[in-house]
Structure 1
Amino acid sequence: MARKPRIKTTSLPVPTTREQAEQLLHDIGRLQRQVATIETAMNDRLSDVKRTFEDQVKPLNQGIDEAFEGLRIYCEANRDQLCKGNSKTVTLATGKVFWRKTPPRVTVRGMDIVLETLKKLRLKRAIRTKEEVNKEAILLEPEKYTAIPGINITSREEFGVEPFESEIEKAVTVK
């Protein structure tokens, strides 16, 4: 004989009157404020812990930076003696030092002028044209586009709650 699957249910506080709905909204606000209080306390403690460890690490990082810079100066001054042939890596007793080239990178300043110059020089292969659907234009006249396959215009209704809150005003004495 086949067993019927068990369905877990929870008892939700579903209001039956407006007053009960107002009370639930009040409860949500109270619970949200409690969560915010706990999160604030957590962040305060995390901040203190982080600051403690950062203070411990600060002099160590300064020592690393100074040692790194000293080693770099030595290696740059003695590169010819350290590197054999075309090698860019030197193995020392306690580790390796190396030089490497980064991949080429293009930076463009004054985009309009650069584009204009490329066009004048007929170097259009260096200009990229990107085509994409203008969704904002479609939303301005949705009736024109609803019959086009692949275009779907949707909207949905969402339910939300926003309990009222009041912030304590801070008064500052003006001199």
Structure 2
Amino acid sequence: MATRIKAKAAVQVPQTKTDCAADIKLIGDLQRDFERQRAEMNDQIAEITKQYQPGLEALQGRLLVLQEGVQSFCEAHRETLCGKGKTANLVTGEVCWRQRPPSVSIRGADSVMDTLLRMGLGRFVRVKNEPNKEAMLNEPDAVKGIAGIAIVSGVEDFVITPFEAGTEVAA
């Protein structure tokens, strides 16, 4: 794992090449310790999830059965429960019916766009114009001097890569 350093605010600056090498070793040690602790944390999360999963699934199943039963009862007795409204207060809670706002669902967007354009319904097709940064990088002289455009080049990052042996797990 390489560490990219952009800021120049160093707290501990090595004074010799030996100190620098020792700090790089320490960076590698800390990175490996970090990864070990993260793996341990993920193992514990997996264990906890495994422990609670059956109970949660059982509760979710019971909830769905109860919700469907309450909905069936309320649908059958909607007028009695709500009158002309959309909400019924049942002492322990309330039930309500809400109209969702209209939405548009599109499958096969390319063919839908072709059909809309062919039928003269171009007003339903959105055209997105945006600057082409790749083209500007290919021809930086053409956009030189245009306000709002800056070609950034020559930025150098400092990267520390501690040496470590790679391991492979046979499957």
Task: State the TM-score bracket (shorter-chain normalisation).
Answer: 0.7 to 0.9
Deviations 1:27-47 (A, max 9, x none): 211221122112222222233
Stretch moving more, 40-49 or 149-158: 40-49
Supply the AA of the counterpart residue of 2:87.
Answer: T
Number of residues paired by the alignment? 162
**1:43 aligned residue:** 42
**1:139 aligned residue:** 137
Match of 2:108 among 86, 92, 110: 110
Distance in 1, matches of 2:162 and 2:21, equals 10
- 1:81 Cα deviation from its structure 2 partner: 2.7
Distance in 2, matches of 1:123 and 1:14, equals 68
Distance in 1, matches of 2:26 and 2:106, equals 56
**2:147 aligned residue:** 149
**Would you say 1:170 and 2:169 are equivalent positions?**
yes
Q: Which has the higher contact order (CA 8 A, sep 6+)?
A: 2
Which structure has the larger Rg?
A: 1
Question: Structure 1 vs Structure 2: percent identity of aligned residues?
Answer: 37
**Would you say 1:14 and 2:11 are equivalent positions?**
no
Question: Could you say if the C-alpha distance between residues 132 and 90 of structure 1 is closer, same or farther in structure 2, counting changes exceeding 3 Å?
Answer: same
Supply the AA of the counterpart residue of 2:105.
Answer: T
Question: Could you say if the C-alpha distance between residues 120 and 13 of structure 1 is closer, same or farther in structure 2, counting changes exceeding 3 Å?
Answer: closer
**2:71 aligned residue:** 72
**1:101 aligned residue:** 99
Tell me the TM-score normalized by structure 2: 0.81
Q: Extract unaligned runs of 5+ from structure 1.
A: 1-9
Supply the AA of the counterpart residue of 1:47.
Answer: A
- 1:15 Cα deviation from its structure 2 partner: 4.5
- 1:152 Cα deviation from its structure 2 partner: 0.7
Supply the AA of the counterpart residue of 2:88.
Answer: V
Distance in 2, matches of 1:95 and 1:81, equals 16
**1:89 aligned residue:** 87
C-alpha RMSD of matched pairs (Å):
2.4
Q: Extract unaligned runs of 5+ from structure 2.
A: 1-9
